[in-house]
Amino acid sequence: MTVRHGREFLTIPGPTTVPDEVLGAMHRPAVDIYASDLPALTDSCLADLARVFRTGGHVYIYIANGHGVWEAALSNVLSRGDRVLAVGGGLFTHAWAEMARMNGIEVELMAGDSRRAVEPGAVEARLRADTAGALKAVLLVQVDTATGVVNDVRGVRAAIDAAGHGALLMVDGIASIGVVPFEMDAWGVDVAITASQKGLMMTPGLGFVAAGPKARAVHQHANLRTQYWDWTFREGPLHYQKYCGTPPEHMLFGLRRSLDMLLEEGLEAAWHRQALLARAVRAAVTVWAEGGAIEFNASEPAERADSVTTVRTAAGASPAALLDYCRTRCGVVLGIGIGPLDGKAFRIAHMGHVNAPMILGALGVVEMGLRALGIAHGRGGIQAAVELLADAVPP
Ligand SMILES: *Cc1c(COP(=O)(O)O)cnc(C)c1O
């Protein structure tokens, strides 16, 4: 017996649900790259991406996933043998650090506790000790999608400033930009990156980098630059230089629609919607956790991300069985635990094109699964989520 017929709901932390309007905007013939209005389309996307990054700096669009723009960011501002400080205990900090190493950068990893946010005080102390200014950049992931922890970008900026250090602040906002507040210029972020397939409600395949004035100055003498990623080349006068080749036409058609949807709702309203839905998820998980078999991975409530909730399961309460039940019996695809949490956790994403029925439906299915599989859980998780939303959303 299953109750899965109908539309499957993908609640993994990327790719997220792509709105039908966005899919529809992509369903059209290719256009002539030389005799079309593509340059105007590119300009409008760049201008609106700058609004999303909250920057007056330069934005670059790459045909790439998140890993691609990690490399784009590193190669444009660093040189072989430069030292950088990667902070945070999440999987994505480790992976970005590893990429930097493969690119010839010396990386110092300050991992800390993987269930906690980065401590700005520790960053400040490390930078104060670097009196020679050997560290050229601090790499920070705003929301670590594996652990479900959100880091304090402003706090890390303040730590760099308090230490009087000149390192660039480079932020991975792939699972946070468009989802939680991010203010590139006001917070003093030098390089920010994001990708199309999470908060921006688009298919995977586009990556975005925003660079502030200090990063663009350092860029002039960075020697890891390569032609495909190079900002200077992409700033050239010809439209094809913006993509270093054929523009990803259909993805731009889709991106245009997804940016319209996001900006029509309003960035602040979108942040607020996703925060409320995240709180509903946390209300349910808090109640379920009373049964003792599941718990939040992020140990500190204030450090739980509004993009994704990572739920650890006790030995004996198999996340694989729960994931399988939800998918094959109910048509809800939860995220698996990744990295050190492989086989030990599941994830519920609440970013991008999500609303109350999608999130309440997903929670209802998880609760069904917990019950059907006999996994101990507190009763009333759904009720708690419904009450939280009812109190937060007035008539
Ligand atoms: C998804 C994600 C990435 C990797 O993006 P890909 O598109 O899979 O390369 C990097 N950082 C964060 C924070 C992410 O959520």
Asked if residue 358 has pLDDT above 90, the reply is yes
Ligand 1 in reach of 352 Cβ (< 6 A):
no
Do 299 and 376 lie in one domain? The reply is yes
The span from the CA of 17 to the CA of 19, in Å, is: 6
Query: At residue 29, does pLDDT exceed 90?
Result: yes
Q: Within a domain: residue 24?
A: no
Note whether 346 and 253 are same-domain residues.
no
173 lines ligand 1 (CB under 6 A): no
Q: Which of 215, 238, 263 is the last residue of a domain?
A: 263
Write the pLDDT tens digit of every residue in 266-309. Answer: 999 999 999 999 999 999 999 999 999 999 999 999 999 999 99
Binding site membership of 96 for ligand 1 (Cβ less than 6 Å): no
Relative to the CA of 173, which ligand 1 atom is closest?
13
231 and 249 part of one domain: yes
Write out pLDDT tens, residues 65-110: 999 999 999 999 999 999 999 999 999 999 999 999 999 999 999 9
Contact, 149 vs 115, CB < 8 A?
yes
* pLDDT attached to residue 54: 98
318 assigned to some structural domain: yes
In a domain, 375, yes or no: yes
- 342 CA → ligand 1 middle, Å: 17
Where a domain ends, among 238, 263, 288?
263
pLDDT in tens, 132-187: 999 999 999 999 999 999 999 999 999 999 999 999 999 999 999 999 999 999 99
Q: Which of 91, 92, 176, 196 to mutate to test the pocket of ligand 1 (most atoms within 8 A of CB)?
A: 92
> How high is the mean pLDDT of the chain?
97
Are 120 and 195 contained in the same domain?
Answer: yes
> Is residue 179 situated within a structural domain?
yes
Mean pLDDT of 213-232: 98
Q: Tell me if 141 CB under 6 Å of ligand 1.
A: yes
Please, which pLDDT band fits residue 18 given cuts at 50, 70 and 90?
very high
Q: To test the ligand 1 pocket, which listed residue (87, 140, 143, 145) has its Cβ within 8 A of the most ligand atoms? A: 145
CATH number at residue 337: 3.90.1150.10
Pair 145, 290 in one domain:
no
Q: From the CA of 70, give the closest atom in ligand 1.
A: 10
Inside any domain, residue 26: no
Q: Count Cα neighbours of 21 within 13 Å in the Cβ-side half-sphere.
A: 10
Do residue 121 and residue 188 come from a single domain?
yes
Q: Looking at residue 57, what is its pLDDT?
A: 98
**Residue 14 near ligand 1, beta carbon < 6 Å:** yes
What is the reported pLDDT for 317? 86
* pLDDT of 298: 98
Ligand 1: nearest atom to the Cα of 207: 7
Q: How many domains does the chain have?
A: 2
Nearest CA to ligand 1 atom 5: 66
Domain end marker among 225, 246, 263: 263
**Best probe residue, ligand 1, of 87, 99, 174, 177 (max atoms within 8 Å of C-beta):** 174
Task: Tell the residue nearest (CA) to atom 3 of ligand 1.
Answer: 66
Q: Based on the domain organization, do 210 and 321 belong to the same domain?
A: no
The predicted pLDDT at position 95 comes to: 98
Domain limits for position 297: 9-16+267-392
Atom of ligand 1 nearest to the CA of 176: 13
Q: What is the pTM of this model?
A: 0.98
**Residue 291: its pLDDT value, please?**
97
Nearest CA to ligand 1 atom 10: 66
CA distance 215 to 189: 9
Q: Is the pLDDT of residue 316 over 90?
A: no
Whether the pLDDT of residue 118 is over 90: the answer is yes
Q: Is the CB of 293 under 6 A from ligand 1?
A: no
Q: Is 349 in the pocket of ligand 1 (CB under 6 A)?
A: no
Residue 4 in any domain: the answer is no
CB of 82 shorter than 6 A to ligand 1 = no
